[in-house]
Each structure stands twice: as structure tokens, then as C-alpha cells.
Chains A and B, each alone.
Chain A
Amino acid sequence: DVVMTQSPLSLPVTLGQPASISCRSSQSLVHSDGNTYLHWFHQRPGQSPRRLIYKVSNRDSGVPDRFSGSGSGTDFTLKISRVEAEDVGIYYCMQGTHWPRTFGQGTKVEIK
């Protein structure tokens, strides 16, 4: 199975400051169709996860442009340019290239 490793696992941030989460995969996530199926999800406390970013860098509808995704191969990053209070919660990366689908352990973002 592809192991997804996130860091850090806990991220205290100051409102208005940037934040960055790393996600590394144990195998390349480049699919035979040429796409890289690496996605990011956000789970607010008590809520279901919501996809924020798909295929590395594409924001889902309604996702603020302060969120951005980048990376390639096995190394990916989610960045928040200026953290807002609503951004707290747990962020997960997930690979959709190989079976079984696998998630990172999650990164808990909280306000300092």
C-alpha cells in the first residue's frame, strides 16, 4: 500500500499568518493516464471532511484562493496564505492513484 506521511501533525498558527503542510507518498502518484491524483481535505470539528484541492493544485468550487496546492511525484504541499479562524480543523492528504486509496495521518491546525 502507498503510505502517505504528513508533517507536521500539529500546527499552531497565528491569525493572518501563512501556514504550510507537507505530504509525502511512498510511491510516485503519477497515474498511467498522466494525472497525479493527490487531493487535500479539510475536516472541521464535528463535521464531515470536505475536499479543498484535487489533482495537486486545483481548488474545488467555493474554496478561498488563500488555499493553494503544489508538488509533484511524491512530494506535495498545501499552503494557506493567511490563516483565518474558519481554517481550524484537521487537514488530510489522500492519494487516488493506487489501490487501496490511502490518507495521510492528518494535520491539526489550531489558532495560537
Chain B
Amino acid sequence: EVQLLESGGGLVQPGGSLRLSCTASGFPFSTSGMNWVRQAPGKGLEWVSVIGETYTSYADSVKGRFTFSRDNSKNTIHLEMNSLRAEDTALYYCVKGWQFDAWGRGTMVTVSS
């Protein structure tokens, strides 16, 4: 069974930093693309970033501020978020696969003073 467990969310001031993590199990992690998708309170879904074996891509809204990395030895991905803004406030989902076939429960990030 595929399991995706996010962690690292919390309350941070504008301009601050946060590091999200997602630990995966139940599938061949090292060869799977992984994504972060976020959902602002009461809003729809927004793709944030993807990581493959050697490839990463970012939404324009986070490019230059967020860094996506993976540790295949620990079946874990990380999203380093810097220069956070109020508009980054959202539930961040870890999503498996190039075509989004499994989702975690999410970790909440709140950017507020």
C-alpha cells in the first residue's frame, strides 16, 4: 500500500523559511517522480513543484524561493521554502508519480505576522 506522510508545516512570519518533508513507502521510490501540490484555504489545487531522478521544475509563483530535493536512501523528499509570503499559506500535499496517482494528507503552512 502506498503511503505518503508529510511533516514540517507550521506558522511562520512573512520573509521566513520552512522545510517540508514527505516520507514515502509502498512503491519503488527512487524511480518515481514526486510532486508538491498546495491548496489555499477554501481554494482549488495548485501544482508547486516536481522532482524526477535528475529533473526538477517549479511553478512561477515559487521559482527562486522554493527548492525541491530528494533523499532516495530515506525515501524522503524535501521542500525548502524561503522568503515566504502570505499567499504561500496553504495545505501542502505530497503527491506520487508523474500523473499524480497517490496523495498524502498534507501539512499546513501558515504565513502570518
Q: Do A and B bind each other?
A: yes
Show the binding face of A for B, using Cβ within 8 Å. 37, 39, 41, 48-51, 54-55, 60, 90, 92, 94, 96, 99-106
Residue from B44, B60, B101 within 8 A of A105 (CB atoms): B44
Chain A residues closer than 8 Å to B47, beta-carbon distance = 100-103
Q: A48-B104, A49-B93, A100-B60 are in contact. Are A37 and B44 (CB under 8 A)?
A: no
Tally chain B residues at the interface, Cβ within 8 Å.
19
B15 to chain A, nearest CB (A): 25
A49 touching B99 by the CB < 8 A rule? no
Tell me the bound Cα distance from A90 to B39 in angstroms. Answer: 13
Which residues in window 31-81 of B have CB below 8 A to A?
35, 44-47, 50, 57, 59-60
6 contacts between A and B (CB under 8 A): A41-B100, A54-B99, A54-B101, A94-B45, A94-B100, A99-B57
Tell me the bound Cα distance from A90 to B57 in angstroms. Answer: 27
Tell me the bound Cα distance from A102 to B100 in angstroms. Answer: 12
A51 touching B104 by the CB < 8 A rule? no
Q: Does B98 have its Cβ within 8 Å of any Cβ on chain A?
A: yes
B106 touching A39 by the CB < 8 A rule? no
Residue from A37, A48, A100, A103 within 8 A of B105 (CB atoms): A48
Tell me the bound Cα distance from A106 to B42 in angstroms. Answer: 11
Chain A residues closer than 8 Å to B60, beta-carbon distance = 100
A-B complex: 5 closest residue pairs judged by Cβ atoms: A101-B47, A48-B103, A103-B45, A106-B44, A96-B99
Most buried by A among B47, B102, B106: B47
A48 touching B93 by the CB < 8 A rule? yes
**Per-residue CB proximity of B10-45 to A under 8 Å, as 1/0?**
000000000000000000000000010000000011
